Structure 1
Amino acid sequence: MAVLSKIRKLPPIILIIVIGVALLTFIVSPSALKNFFNADKFSSVAEVSGEKISRNEFVTALDNYKKQTGGRVSDIQASKIVFNNLMRNKVYNNQLEQAGITIGEADILNQIYDTEFVKKDPRFQTAGVFDKNKLKQYLADVKQNKPQVWAGWQNYMSNVKNSLQKSTYNNLVSVGLNASLKEGEMKYVTENTKINSNFVFVPFSSVKDDEVTIKTGEVKDYIESHKSEFQVDASRDVKYVRFDVKPTQTDENNLKAKMVTLLNDREEYSNTAKKNVTVKGLKSTNDYNAFFIDNKSDLPYDASYQFKSSISTNVSDKLFAGAKGDVFGPYKDKGYLKLSKIVDIATMPDSVKARHILIPFVGSRASNKDTKKTEEQAKKQADSLLAVVKKSPKNFEKLAKDFSKGPSASKGGDLGWFTYSTMVPEFRDYCFSNKKGDVGVVKTIFGFHIVKIDDQKNQQKVLKLATFGQKIEASEETENNVFENASIFEQELSSGKTFDEVAKEKGLKVMSSVGLKPLSENVSGLGNQRSIISWSFGKDTKVGDYKRFDIEKGYVIATVIGETHKGLIPVKKAVAKVRPILVNQKKAKLIEDKMKGATLEEMANATKTTVRKVSGVTLKTPTISGVGYEPNIVGAMLYAKANEVYKNIVGDRGVFAIKVINREAPVSLPNYL
């Protein structure tokens, strides 16, 4: 299981390459994969307006994108993004070429010149001012002498060019789409004209659902007559059961028994010494690093002090009531069995306020191109400054501003209040182990620090613990049992039983994932499971087929329960959407048959309702009080003749009859753009 899990995490580079073609034409399969690598058959992955996207172009762009994102997106997501970007760039290139517009090197450089991070880069400045010639000289140098750096700049300039192409084309389109003043005025008047109207409203809910019958043929006819609204991509529906490999109580008990043997000294035969030797237990050992390594702890030895608030509540009280040398456990905590020994007991603050002067040296993390001091020279300067501070503590702030290379220098080295886990170990230990007013030199990965402790608060008891831990995991026997259960499930399916029958007999929960697309990655409830999706779209996979899949810490047996081909949606999948539409249409017809009369009052009597009034409603906010959002009805009111009755107008919530009283034009504006 562990090996399989690692294999599944490896980056599927073949899939990355194939995906470009898969986006357009097929789902990855062994035969398709073989054909793809036939260079004579597939030299490109797509074609836009006669211009091809080559395999090499796609793979190179994908590789660059993966480097930029640092692997933070999945292979398929990266492939989709890169493919869409390439397609988009081809379209922009084609449109700009037709418009006679080109983006040249000068355009790209001018854009780079205006980029903030370039203008602020000291390498490209003269006397603190951006110098174009320095940038040009730098680019010429890296092009000739540093191919890797130049490749990065080429990629950046390519992105700048693409961005310029898009903005140029979009600006052209935007100019072409700008509305005229007259169009702006018409839109403003249409949306803001206030309407006052009387109306009769009979809701669909006034007709009982059982008065209307919808047949499958009617759903089919509706779909056929609205084909453009019911086009779907290919998809698959699957359901599955899980067989999770989890540690059993027996596994936990066995681990606990094993850990108990680590408490005390024991005799073991040594192949090196050719005799029995005494192996120290946790109670007697003082070499905790060696103990953790020799006994294969899954947790590293942590020599820092622990506050009570940072320890699990199920054991913190017992630990803090213990004495130095006491050992507790095994106890269960966050998926581990642990043994904890109290190595030391101390008192320290939970927060410290301090300031420092940082002196970096060449090779330290705080060093930069201006750092010249060796470690020895930095130590010498730090000791000198310490002597000065000890003689005149009041000068610390000024010395920090003059000599410190840390970000707090401008504040006189003030670091404010910080907790125990905030700083690097050496700095932390000095601040929390010493007392208020102490000054000293500390070496860390950043350099040498002259540290002054300004204040401390909340003194409390802390423990240094040697906490040995091993993860509670399923044994090989448990894994084998789970695999056997999955195999038995498969066997019973092959004997003719249905998926649901077997799941019910075994007490397994059946989960489903509906509407999986060819390039989907996630299966509901399972996360990223490309193998299941690829199999469901395989040319040999049919509805009813089933297969076992290895997943992280377990197995899944999945079966295909539905397939939808690209094109018009199947009737059974459209029923949920179409039925309410047809029901309302039939209810509207029944209501229309009842809405008799020439006046609103007569229609209200005929439908056993009342004449209502709406005031000041507009098309911009087409909500009718007591009814709801009804843009179609408000639109009808906007264009209806005043004082004329219009009936049998179907809205979103029912059938209306209206009689507009008047309309109020909005206040004129000085500008309608």
Structure 2
Amino acid sequence: MGLMTFLRNRAGYILVFAIGFAIVAFLVGDAINVGKPFWAENQKTVGSVDGNDISIDEFGPKVEQNLNQFKQQYGGSANAQMQSMAVDQAWNAELASVLLNKEYERLGLSVSEDELVDLLVGQNPSPLIKQYFTNPQTGQLDRMQLNSFLKSKDPQAQNQSALLQTEVKNQTLQQKYSNLIRNSVYVTSLEATDEYTNRNKLANFKYVNLDYTSIPDASVKLTDADYSEYYDANKSRFNNPQETRSFEYVTFSIKPTKADSAAVKAQVDKIAADFRVAKNDSLFAAINSDVKVPFTYITKGKLDPAVDSAVFSLPAGSYYGPALSGNSYKVIKVVATRLSPDSVKVSHILIDPAKVGGEDKAVKLADSLKGLINKGGSFAELAKTYSVDGSKDQGGSMPAFARGAMVPEFENAAFDGSVGDLKTVKSQFGIHIMKIEKQIGSSKVAKLAYVEKSLAASSKTQASAYKAASNFLNDVKGNDFAKFAQTKNLKTAVADKITATQGFAPGLDNPRKLIQDAYAADKGDVLPEIYTMGDGYVVARVTDIRPKGALPLDAVKKEIQPMVLNAAKAKLLKAKFDGAGKVGLAQIAAKVGRSVLPVQNIVFANPIIPGVAQENKLVGSVFGSQPGKVSTPVEGERGVYVFSVDGFSNPAPIANMFKQKETMLLSLGQRSLGAAFQALQDNAKIKDNRVKFY
């Protein structure tokens, strides 16, 4: 009762405080995050560049557009790696848009209205205008089509025109900026001469080497001072360009067991027996096959190579299989075989039923047009008037195509007919009037009733593997992950230095969800889920987190151990050379128990010692030495070297200094653009939240 009385007496104060807090929260939230609560980060923000937020609503469609382009370019369906490429490309475009536009403004780069008009309709239009409005038949810019497009009052055309003009401006600004960067780069005659000399001056020398492998690793005791010395001398190597995470994982296999394989084989044997007495081959195949192969004529080379030759050597009415090929059984009936053209060239008129009042009217129109063509009417002119296909501008003429390129109805009509045939064909696109112009080549084709059954794990096997993975996930928490896995006879694998948007990881089929969870976890955390990866269930633990920027010694200590070990060995090997005294190369070789090895025609720009390795320090020291003198010991990649230069062969003077400079400028100009953009990124405040969305 006392508490209730207290609340009633002070209800007014509490209400005023609550309202006041809400107002302050709203105002502060507005100032901090444009109306979003300040206690929670905007869930729609993919990232930000210098305070410019990138919304998933705008970013997502760009990723999808890139993904569709990749699917067209590489073929097939999207995969994790393709998705990662699409996300990276969209992100880089966003970075470029924000950073370059700020740079254009800072430098005073712009495109005036008069300049834009000239780029659109002038004598030397933008490459984009040429790309979109060049007539493919004449190769010339179609100015009538261009002017019609720019002056159109249609809302969709006006929107497309605005987008095109924006892209023309952006491309022009990029070109101006590129020219500005390139023109800031120059090559002096001294630099050109040095580059020419480095690529053409030859050195002949002899050396004696002591390999690092000559000292057992176990005999070298590394100290903290050894690590610090190497780290301090190589700090620039340990700058992490972006955050990475590493994780270890175990896999619980869901590959089919012997019992699973036997069960599938028994099922396939029954299917094969039923197949032989089936009354409808195509229907039986469609019902029983895990992989659908169209019931139409196909050419040799379309099937699994292991069965293709065998099937195409069989006569009509034959059966193939059951045969295990790859990870599936195949049972095939050769329904029919015949000779068929390799490719066909046709012309067609496509009628859209929706535009002529329905399918019946489309068929009647097709019959009328066929009648006109049979009476001598021009197929090409009728195509230009009545066809809705893109080929109408070419009079309906299509490029020659092979089997598998068109929808079945269209393909069958083209390949089953004869040259000169005029056919009416119904497809998912509408009603076609097809004229077979030419049939090219001839080869055997087969119509197959195709049944394929995958050799997959049974539900019992999958359930058993999942239970084992679940038990491991529950029991490993609080234990040493690798040691616990070893007690369960499981092999621990490692995925090292995985970036947030990476679409792959060693040994894992589709790791995006796992990577996302790894970036939401702390070092040492066992990830909360069991991940399905192709033929196994995976349990993982985050082993390392490397933030962006300079990495401390502790973060790279294990990684640099082999190099530190070699550095420690180098000191011992140098001492061994020093103990041989200041004598000739042959005497040094005798005292250290090695041979003198000659090297001919080495150039500074290609510091590879034949049969050894790339030895930059050694070759650099050679070109900085006087002939005839025995060098001090040089620490290399494979060991420690002592050498003596026999002589140098200087190249002829540069024949064309201008060409030498021009070649160097081209390379420097290309590198300078990338370096300039990288500098803009390094100096920008970039926040990347992509891992939360992809």
Q: 1:141 aligns with which of 152, 159, 163?
A: 152
Could you tell me which residue of structure 2 aligns to residue 550 of structure 1?
531
Could you tell me which residue of structure 2 aligns to residue 573 of structure 1?
559
Find out whether 1:449 has 2:434 as its counterpart.
yes
User: What residue ranges of structure 1 are gaps of 5+ in the alignment?
Assistant: 1-31, 266-280, 368-372, 390-398
When residues 150 and 556 of structure 1 are mapped into structure 2, their CA distance, relative to the original with a 3 A threshold, is farther
Letter in structure 2 aligned against 1:208: I
Q: 2:64 aligns with which of 56, 63, 66?
A: 66
Could you tell me which residue of structure 2 aligns to residue 22 of structure 1?
none
Could you tell me which residue of structure 1 aligns to residue 211 of structure 2?
204
Could you tell me which residue of structure 2 aligns to residue 528 of structure 1?
510
When residues 128 and 96 of structure 1 are mapped into structure 2, their CA distance, relative to the original with a 3 A threshold, is closer
| Whole-angstrom CA distance in 2 between matches of 1:339 and 1:206 | 58
Could you tell me which residue of structure 2 aligns to residue 19 of structure 1?
none
When residues 223 and 121 of structure 1 are mapped into structure 2, their CA distance, relative to the original with a 3 A threshold, is closer
Could you tell me which residue of structure 2 aligns to residue 363 of structure 1?
352
- Aligned residues between the structures: 587
Letter in structure 2 aligned against 1:545: V
| Contact preservation (8 Å) 1:361, 1:374 | no
Find out whether 1:236 has 2:239 as its counterpart.
no
Find out whether 1:596 has 2:582 as its counterpart.
yes
Q: Show the 5 A alignment for 1:164-313.
A: 164-189=172-197, 191-195=199-203, 199-204=206-211, 207-209=214-216, 213-217=220-224, 218-232=226-240, 234-246=243-255, 283=277, 302-305=294-297
1:241-262 alpha-carbon deviations (Å, 9 max, x no partner): 2234455666677778889999
Higher strand content, 1 or 2 = 1
Could you tell me which residue of structure 1 aligns to residue 49 of structure 2?
46
| Contact preservation (8 Å) 1:359, 1:382 | no
Tell me how far 1:164 sits from its aligned partner.
Answer: 2.9
| Contact preservation (8 Å) 2:422, 2:433 | no
Could you tell me which residue of structure 2 aligns to residue 270 of structure 1?
none
Could you tell me which residue of structure 1 aligns to residue 28 of structure 2?
none
1:143-165 alpha-carbon deviations (Å, 9 max, x no partner): xx425x54555444444434333
Letter in structure 2 aligned against 1:493: V
Find out whether 1:118 has 2:129 as its counterpart.
yes
Q: 1:513 aligns with which of 495, 498, 512?
A: 495
| Contact preservation (8 Å) 1:595, 1:648 | no
Could you tell me which residue of structure 2 aligns to residue 35 of structure 1?
40
**DSSP-derived class of the 1:548 partner:** coil
| Whole-angstrom CA distance in 2 between matches of 1:341 and 1:657 | 74
When residues 250 and 442 of structure 1 are mapped into structure 2, their CA distance, relative to the original with a 3 A threshold, is farther
Q: Show the 5 A alignment for 1:578-657.
A: 578-597=564-583, 603=588, 606-607=591-592, 617-622=602-607, 629-641=614-626, 646-652=631-637, 653-657=639-643
1:585-638 alpha-carbon deviations (Å, 9 max, x no partner): 4322322332423x5566556556677766665434455678765554444444
Higher helix content, 1 or 2 = 2
User: What residue ranges of structure 2 are gaps of 5+ in the alignment?
Assistant: 1-36, 71-80, 356-360, 385-389, 662-694
- C-alpha RMSD of the superposition: 5.4
**DSSP-derived class of the 2:246 partner:** strand
**DSSP-derived class of the 2:657 partner:** coil
Tell me how far 1:224 sits from its aligned partner.
Answer: 3.5
Could you tell me which residue of structure 1 aligns to residue 467 of structure 2?
484
| Whole-angstrom CA distance in 2 between matches of 1:388 and 1:442 | 18
| Whole-angstrom CA distance in 1 between matches of 2:257 and 2:46 | 54
| Whole-angstrom CA distance in 2 between matches of 1:316 and 1:610 | 59
| Whole-angstrom CA distance in 2 between matches of 1:310 and 1:619 | 53
| Whole-angstrom CA distance in 2 between matches of 1:442 and 1:98 | 64
**DSSP-derived class of the 1:360 partner:** strand
**DSSP-derived class of the 1:480 partner:** helix
Tell me how far 1:485 sits from its aligned partner.
Answer: 2.1
| Whole-angstrom CA distance in 2 between matches of 1:413 and 1:135 | 25
| Whole-angstrom CA distance in 2 between matches of 1:315 and 1:661 | 64
1:394-418 alpha-carbon deviations (Å, 9 max, x no partner): xxxxx989988898999998988x8
| Contact preservation (8 Å) 1:442, 1:448 | yes
| Whole-angstrom CA distance in 2 between matches of 1:430 and 1:204 | 73
When residues 33 and 329 of structure 1 are mapped into structure 2, their CA distance, relative to the original with a 3 A threshold, is farther
| Whole-angstrom CA distance in 1 between matches of 2:505 and 2:559 | 19
**Percent of aligned positions with the same letter in both sequences?**
18
Q: Show the 5 A alignment for 1:262-411.
A: 283=277, 302-305=294-297, 346=336, 348-351=338-341, 356=346, 358-363=347-352, 376-382=364-370, 385=373
